[in-house]
Structure 1
C-alpha cells in the first residue's frame, strides 16, 4: 500500500512538473521562438540529468548502444511538445493547452497499452477503460469551452 501511494505521489509530481513547465515553456517560446525555447529547456534538462547521473554512479549509461533506435530518438517528442506549447498557450491559455496535452497523452497511452508497444505490458481496452476515457474527454470538453 505504501509503495502504491509513493508511486501515485511520483506520478502527481510529474503532472505538477508538466503543469508548471508548460506555461513557462509557452511564454519562453512566445518570446524567443519554440525551437529556441526547446533548446534551452533540453540543455538545462541535460545538465540536471548529467548531475543526477553522476550522483547515481552512472547507472547503466554504458549500455546505451543496445537501445532500439526509437529510444535514442525520443527527444524529438520533447521538441514537438514545446513547439505545440509555444503555439497553444498564448492562444488558448495554460489550462486549455495542458488539457489538450493530457487528452493526447491519454489517447497515446491507450494505444500503447492495448498493443503493448515500446516494451509496455499489454492492457486491453475494455468497457471500464472506455467509460473512464469518455469521462476524461467530457471533462476536457468542459475545460475547453
Structure 2
C-alpha cells in the first residue's frame, strides 16, 4: 500500500539514513498522525501534548506545565520555536480556564509576547484565570527557562458553553 505523497519503499530507504533522534521524531509524528486519524483528539495533542507534564491547581484556576526542550521543538536558531511557545501558553491557559469553568471551551483570543530566546533543558509555563464569567474566562501565562528567566508571556480569552 502506498501513500499519496511517497512510496513505502522510498520512505524505508530514507529512514535507513536517519540516526536515533531522527527516527524518534519521525516515529512520534507518524504515531501522532495515526492516532489523530483514528479520532483520538488531534495531531498536535499527540505530537506535543504528551510531552507536557502538568499539575492543575483547580481551586485556584491555575496550572503549571513543564515542557522538555528537544530537537522536536527547536527552530533553526537553536531555540524553541515561537509556535511551540504559543501552543504551550494556549494549553496552560486553556487547562486553567477549563478547571475554573468545569466544561470544555475554545480559545477566542490569544496574544503572545516573546521576551528572550527560550533555551535550556526545559520550560515551565504557569497559566491562570484572571477573570471569569458565566461563559468567558480571561487568562494569562508566563513561561520561564531553567534559570527562572521570563521568556514568553501571553493573555487569552476562552469561551465555555456546551459545544456541539
- The TM-score normalised by the length of structure 1 is 0.31
Indicate the structure whose relative CO is greater, using CA pairs within 8 Å and at least 6 residues apart.
1
Instruction: Judging by fraction of residues, say which structure has more strand.
Output: 2
